[in-house]
Chains A and B, each alone.
Chain A
Amino acid sequence: MSAFTTDRETGSAGTPSPEKKRKGRRRDRATDQRLNWRLRLRRDRTLIIMTVPALALIIAFNYLPMFGAVTAFQFYDYLSGFFHSPWAGLANFQQLFSDSNFWHAFENTLVLSLVQLVLFFPVPIALAIMLNSVLSTKLRSFFQAVVYLPHFFSWVLVVTLFQEMLGGAGLLNHVLRLNDMGVWNIMTDPGAFKYLVTAQAVWKEAGWGIIVFLAAIAAIDPNLYEAAAADGAGRWRRMWHITLPGMRGVIVLMLVLRLGNALTVGFEQFLIQRNAVGSGASEVLDTYAYYYGVIANNYGLGTAAGLFKGVVSLILILAANKLAHYFGEDGLYRRSR
Chain B
Amino acid sequence: MTAPLLVRLRTRPRTAERPAWEEKPSILGQFGKGLSLSVVLGLVLFPLYCVVITSFSTEASINIAGGIVVVPHGLTDEAYRQMLDGGVVTRAVVIALLLTAVGTLISMAVSVLCAYGLSRQHSFGHRAILMTFIATMFFSGGLIPTFIVVANLFHGYDQYWALILPTAVSVFNILIIRGFYMNTARDLIDAAKIDGAGDWRILWSVVLPTSKAVNVVMALFYGVTYWNNWFNVLLYMPADNSKWPIQYVLYEYVNQGASMPGAGASALAGHAQPAPLSLQMAVVVLTLVPILICYPFVQKHFAKGALTGAIKG
Contact = CB atoms under 8 A, between A and B. Distances in A.
Interface of A: 1-6, 8-11, 13-15, 21, 24-25, 28-29, 32, 37, 40-41, 43-44, 46-51, 53-55, 57-58, 60-69, 71, 76, 78, 81-82, 127, 130-131, 133-139, 141, 143-150, 152-157, 159-165, 169-171, 174, 177, 203, 207, 211-212, 214-216, 218-219, 222, 225-226, 229-230, 234-235, 250, 267-268, 271-273, 275-276, 286, 289-290, 293-294, 299, 302-303, 306-307, 309-310, 314, 317
B284 A161 contact: yes
A138 B117 contact: no
B140 interface: yes
B145 A65 contact: yes
B73 interface: no
A68 B251 CA distance: 30
Contacts of A161: 47-48, 51, 284
B254 interface: yes
B230 A1 contact: no
| Chain A to chain B: the 5 pairs with minimum beta-carbon distance, closest first | A65-B141, A306-B142, A219-B313, A68-B145, A50-B117
A54 B23 contact: no
B37 A134 contact: yes
B44 A147 contact: yes
A48 B117 CA distance: 6
Nearest to A250: B311
A164 B51 contact: yes
Interface in B137-196: 137-150, 152-154, 165-169, 171-172, 174-176, 178-179, 182-183, 186
By size class, the interface of chain B is 35 or more
Given A32-B122, A62-B140, A164-B47, A294 B147 contact: yes
A309 B307 CA distance: 29
B132 interface: yes
Interface centre among A48, A163, A203, A275, by most chain B C-beta atoms within 10 angstroms, is A48
A50 B312 contact: no
A174 B19 CA distance: 49
A58 B40 contact: no
A156 B68 contact: no
A102 to B, nearest CB: 14
Contact of B68 (A40, A164, A222, A302): A164
B123 interface: yes
B219 to A, nearest CB: 13
A253 B137 CA distance: 16
Contact of B44 (A71, A133, A146): A146
A25 B120 CA distance: 11
A165 B15 contact: no
Interface string B37-56: 10011011101101100100
Q: At the interface, is chain B mostly helix, strand, loop or mixed?
A: helix
A127 B224 CA distance: 25
A153 B145 contact: no
Contacts of A174: 65-68
Contact of B144 (A46, A215, A289): A289
A57 B169 contact: yes
Given A65-B146, A226-B19, A6 B175 contact: yes
B41 to A, nearest CB: 6
A55 B110 CA distance: 9
Contacts of B215: none
A28 B122 CA distance: 8
Contact of A43 (B16, B124, B142): B124
Contacts of A60: 149, 154, 165
B255 A293 contact: no
A211 B307 contact: yes
A127 to B, nearest CB: 7
B22 interface: yes
Nearest to B131: A6
Interface stretch (B84-92, B262-270, B287-295): B287-295
30 contacts: A3-B137, A5-B175, A8-B312, A40-B124, A50-B117, A51-B114, A53-B110, A57-B169, A65-B149, A69-B142, A81-B152, A82-B153, A134-B33, A136-B14, A147-B40, A149-B44, A154-B228, A154-B287, A156-B228, A156-B251, A156-B255, A161-B51, A163-B254, A164-B47, A165-B68, A229-B22, A250-B311, A293-B143, A293-B144, A310-B139
A136 B139 contact: no
B97 interface: no
A130 B33 contact: yes
Contacts of B281: 164
B78 interface: no
